[in-house]
Every structure is written in structure tokens, then in C-alpha cells.
Amino acid sequence: MKTGRYAGSTQQQARPGPSSELLPILIMDILTYSGHLLSGAWITVQLTLYSSVLGLFFAFVLGVGRVSDNPFVHGLSAGIIEFFRGTSLLVQLFWLYFALPMIGQTLGYDWRFPPMLVGTLALALNIGAYAAEVVRGAIQAVAPEQYEAAKALDFSPRQTMWRIIVPQAVPEMMPSLGNLAIQNLKDTALVSLISLADLAYKAEQLRNFTQDSTTIYSLLLLMYFGMALVVAGLMKLAERYACRWRAGGSV
Amino acid sequence: MSESNQSDKIIEFQNVTKSYGDHVVLDALDFSVRRGEKVTIIGPSGSGKSTVLRILMTLEDIQDGVIHVAGKPLWHEEKNGQLMPASEAHLRMMRKEMGMVFQQFNLFPHMTVMRNVTEAPRQVLGLSRDKAKKRALKYLDLVGMTEHADKFPSQLSGGQQQRVGIARALAMHPNILLFDEPTSALDPELVGEVLQVIEHLASQHDLTILLVTHEMQFARQISDRVCFFDQGKFVEEGRPEEIFTEPREERTKAFLSSFLGDH
């Protein structure tokens, strides 16, 4: 794998040009850095995937809870949403990673969790709280006649919500959920602060070692951008699938 | 005689009152429908005739009075000999007696035609996939929609959607079918196909039909009884030929003449 890359760069080296001295060095650097950064990127991908899926789960539970007639369920959901929207992700991360183990220690429990778990949980709760509001809004946009049709067919309130209302609300949610997924990808960079070796962490490590800020941060930008494009593309596909029953296809 | 009549009534309103604020929609209404009877309710727009159906389907509640469906109180439960407001469980049991066809069809847009018809039998009645599908095919065939089974509602015309709406209601095997202006939202050229289906259903003896409509000619054809509703009350009711050819009440006459004049 690595040798292949270097073999590629030798061909580039042969190409003449104004920067014929600098370019090969730059390419060599980029390839060396990339190998190192890619291992961090893989952590970032995993973290984005896990926290997006878990966040989506939170979003539906909290979003549906928010429109519940039960005042307890409604209040609890609203409280959780407001709490996680109203506190910064960074503080949530630090609290779960540094404060929670201390509390556990006081109480005599081992509440130290691996950074991957803490990162996933904090990201999921944060993005889930935002997405819950998207879910709530989309549910409230479903025509009231759909509830009547469901009632006339004797569906239970729960069946009505999960089989009739929520599936119809999904197309309405998709553009916003797509934005939030990208937001979530970018937010993963914060987990480097709890020593999780993600893309941002690896970049910082490399920069400390080489002092080559320009190349490394440029590469970092491009890598996040590339991943964001992939996320956007996937969300577009998901949107197309979710909208397949609509007259004009997508929204 | 009166005793047998009593048990024959599948729907009975006694002194039923419903109002929105100061606006009285149903004014101490007494009304009954015999098992298997085909009854049409006509009347001016906004007079609250749809409310009669919506209350039966439990989409809207009542403020006063009692409604019996199939001998059981609809909006109440008997506890220690007293009528108490019905629980959700009681309402769910009572809804099984009835099916409803809506003016705006209200199909589930995210489901294919087939799933629109199978979903409630499967989820509510607990039918197996095969049984529900078999039942759905029977009713889709009845309304002439079998070939569109895999389409989504957005791919169908209004008339086709309404026919699916009828199949969907029938698949729950209701004893009473409520039609709330089933052709009012349709383009004129699509009205016929829906009326044809309803006419076919009206020929079945055991099915009780309560129909709100502006299709006077159709009401005349299929009804055992036509009821003229205005200002919260039934002003006049009788056999279709009585109501349409020799109405007794002035308000009925005025309504019918204005209606015939309009069309």
C-alpha cells in the first residue's frame, strides 16, 4: 500500500515545471501525512456513524415524546431536549469524561468509560436534542386528517404515531437531518480533547512533530470536506428513498 | 311491535347536543337508523350534517345526550347502573362497528394501495399477511382497483383514491359504513365511478349505510330514507320520493328548489 503511493509520487517527480524542486517534496509530505491522518479519519468516521445512528434514535424518542399527550412524557422530553441544546458539547464531553468518574469514585463505583463511548454518547445526545426538534416539527406538519383516518380504522394511538404519522413526517425531516449529520461530523473534532485519536487529534500530533502547519491544516480541511461530501451524498440518497411515495419525488 | 323496533335500531341518537362555543351544531337531536337501512342526510353546507357522522366515528365528542350503536352506548360506559364517559378502550371496541369514507379520501400517502387496505386488518385485527392480502384483493376487486395495488396514492386520480378509501373501510368488516360527502372533492367526470361502487354496496342487505351527500339524484336512487338536516335538527325525513317530490316543510322546499336551481 505505502510503496504503491511512493511509486506514484516518483512518476510525479519526473514531471517538469516551475516548482519542480518543491513539488516532489510537497507530494512526499502529503503522502506521509495522509497515511498518518487516515488512521485518525477512520476513528472520525466510526464516531460520526455511531453517534449519528444513536442520535437519530434519541431524536425520534424525544421528538415523539415532545408531542405526547402524557404531561410527564412531554415534560421529560422537553427538559432533556432543552438541557442538551442549552449546554455546550465541549462541556458535556468534559463532564462525562472527567467529572462523572470523580462522582463515581465518591460513590464507590467505577464510572470511567472509554473515550470512544463517551464521545459517541455526548455527540449523540447533543445532535439528538437538535434533531428531536426537527422530528417534532415534521410530526406537527402532518395533516390532522391522517389521525382521523387512523382513528376510523381503529388504530391505537401508538400504532397511529409510529405507523401512520412518523413515516409520513420523514421526508419533511430529511433536509434538516442532512444538515445535522454534517454538523455532527464536524463536531467530532472536539473529541480529540478527551484524547480520542480522531482526525483532528492526529493532525495536531503531526503538527507538533513537524511544525508544518500549512500543509497539515490544509489537508485536514480537505479531509473533513471530503467526508462531509460523502455524508451529504448519503443523506441525499436516503432522502430520495424516503420521498419515493411523493408525487414529484423529492421535496 | 315497538319492542322489536327498539332492538332493530343499530344507531340511536337521544337528545344529542353539540356546540362550538355559541354555535349549536346539533340541537337535542333524536335520530335512529335500522340495521341494514340506507339513509341519506342532505342539507345546506355548514349545517353540521357531517358532524353526525364524525360523532358516530368518535372523531368529535358530544356535550349532552346519549348515542347507542348496536345496542351499546357509544360515548358512555355503564358502571354500577350509571352512564359514565367512555374510556379509550370502550371507544376502540365501539369503532369496530363502523367504517368511514372521507371527503378528502385521507389515504395513507406513504403506503401502497395494497398496504393502505391491509395495514389495519393486520395491525388492528391481527390478521396474518396472507389473510389480510386475500381480504384486500377481494375488496380491491370489488372497487375495481386490483391492477393499481402496487401504486402509491399520489399516482392515482381522485376517483381511484376514493375507491381505495372504500376498500380500506370495507376490509375492516364494519356493520355500518359512514360516507362523508364521498364525491364532493372529485372532478365531475370522476363522480360516476365512485357512486357506482356505493350503489353496489347499497344493494347488500346486511350493511347499514349513512351517507352525507349533495348528489340528490343518487340519494334518491339508493336511499331507503332521506333526512333533511338544517340548523342542528332534522327538519324532515321520509322515503326519497316523498322528500324530493312532495316535501312538507318550507325549509326543505326552499333548499331543494335552490339546489335544483343551482345545478
Q: What's chain A's average pLDDT?
A: 89
Q: How confident is the model at residue A249 (pLDDT cuts 50, 70, 90)?
A: low
B95 in reach of chain A (CB within 8 A): yes
Are B99 and A152 in contact (CB < 8 Å)? yes
pLDDT in tens, A57-100: 999 999 999 999 999 999 999 999 999 999 999 999 999 999 99
B115 touches chain A (CB under 8 A): no
DSSP letters for B33-69: EETT-EEEEE--TTSSHHHHHHHHTTSS--SEEEEEE
Please state, in angstroms and rounded to a whole number, the distance separating the CA atoms of residues A9 and A24. 7
| Residue of A147, A166, A245, A250 for testing the chain B interface, max B β-carbons within 10 Å | A245
Nearest CA in chain B to A168: B110
Contact A249, A243 (CB under 8 A): yes
Judged by CB atoms closer than 8 Å, whether chains meet at B92 and A154 is answered as yes
Per-residue pLDDT of chain B (263 residues; tens, 9 = 90+): 344 444 589 999 999 999 988 888 999 999 999 999 999 999 988 788 999 999 999 999 999 999 999 999 999 998 888 888 999 999 999 999 999 999 999 999 999 999 999 999 999 999 999 999 999 999 999 999 999 999 999 999 999 999 999 999 999 999 999 999 999 999 999 999 999 999 999 998 889 999 999 999 999 999 999 999 998 899 999 999 999 998 999 989 989 888 765 44
Look at residue A1 and tell me whether its pLDDT is greater than 70.
Answer: no
All structural domains of chain B with their residue ranges:
35-54+174-262
Closest-CA residue of chain B to A153 = B120
ipTM field: 0.92
A114 contacts chain B (CB < 8 A)? no
Number of residues assigned to chain B: 263
Q: Is the pLDDT of residue A17 over 80?
A: no
The yes or no reply on domain B35-54+174-262 and CATH 3.40.50.300 is yes
Residues of B in contact with A148 (CB under 8 A): 57, 59, 102, 106
B248: exposed, middle or buried (Cβ count in 10 Å: 0-12, 13-18, 19+):
exposed
The pLDDT value given to residue B12: 94
Confidence of residue A248 (pLDDT cuts 50, 70, 90): low
Which tens digit of pLDDT belongs to each residue from A98-107?
999 999 999 9
Q: Which of residues 146-165 of A touch B (CB under 8 A)?
A: 146, 148-149, 151-157, 159, 163-164
Contacts with A211 (C-beta within 8 Å, 6 or more apart), sequence order = none
Who contacts A213 (Cβ-Cβ below 8 Å, separation ≥6)? A207
- What is the structure's pLDDT at B164? 97
Helices marked H in chain B — which ranges?
Answer: 2-8, 49-56, 88-95, 113-123, 129-142, 158-170, 188-202, 216-222, 240-245, 250-262
Shortest Cα distance, chain B CAs vs residue A163, angstroms: 9
Structural domains for chain A: 39-242 (1.10.3720.10)
Integer angstrom CA distances of residue B156 from B167, B180, B190? 15, 20, 12
| Pairwise CB contact (< 8 Å): B106 & A149 | yes
With CA atoms as reference, the chain B residue closest to A165 would be B108
Higher pLDDT: A143 or A14? It is A143
Give the closest-approach CA distance of B52 to chain A in angstroms: 14
Q: Please report the pLDDT score of residue A18 as a whole number.
A: 55
Mean pLDDT of A13-24: 63
Is B110–A245 a contact, with Cβ atoms under 8 angstroms apart?
Answer: yes
Q: What is the pLDDT of residue B122?
A: 97
pLDDT for A62 equals 96
Q: Does B111 touch chain A (CB under 8 A)?
A: yes
Q: Percentage of chain A surpassing pLDDT 70?
A: 90
Q: Which residue of A has its CA nearest to B99?
A: A152
Residue-by-residue DSSP string for chain A: -HHHHHHHHHHHHHS--TTTTHHHHHHHHHHHHHHHHHHHHHHHHHHHHHHHHHHHHHHHHHHHHHT-SSHHHHHHHHHHHHHHHHS-HHHHHHIIIIIHHHHHHHHT------HHHHHHHHHHHHHHHHHHHHHHHHHHTS-HHHHHHHHHTT--HHHIIIIIIHHHHHHHHHHHHHHHHHHHHHHGGGGGGGT---HHHHHHHHHHHH--HHHHHHHHHHHHHHHHHHHHHHHHHHHHHHTTTSTTS--
What lies within 8 Å, CB to CB, of B147 at 6+ separation is none
Virtual CA dihedral for B132, B135, B140, B142, nearest 10 degrees?
-170
Residue B21's pLDDT is what? 86
Q: What is the mean pLDDT of residues A154-179?
A: 95
pLDDT for B260 equals: 66
